[in-house]
Amino acid sequence: MKFVLEVTVDEGASTQDPVGELSRILRYWAGNLKHYALEAGDGSAVYDSAHQEVGQWRVIAS
């Protein structure tokens, strides 16, 4: 399997603090992954601290 995380860090809350926003997103999703089976097809939208969608993560077969 392959885990893919795509985040745009040049709009929304991340324009003011891209490193801080990306760090927050990574911490949040690292803790949240336990709620998923992590099988091909799993995925979800990714949101910044202003609750704006800034990307997605997904699991694909390798």
Q: What is the pLDDT of residues 15-29, one digit of tens each?
A: 788 888 899 999 988
Which pLDDT band, with edges at 50, 70 and 90, does 5 fall under? very high
Instruction: Report how many domains make up the chain.
Output: 1
Q: Are 57 and 43 in contact (CB under 8 A)?
A: yes
Cβ neighbours of residue 44 under 8 Å, at least 6 residues apart?
36, 56, 57
Model pTM above 0.85: no
Percent of the chain with pLDDT over 90: 45
Domain extent at residue 49: 2-60
Which pLDDT band, with edges at 50, 70 and 90, does 33 fall under? confident
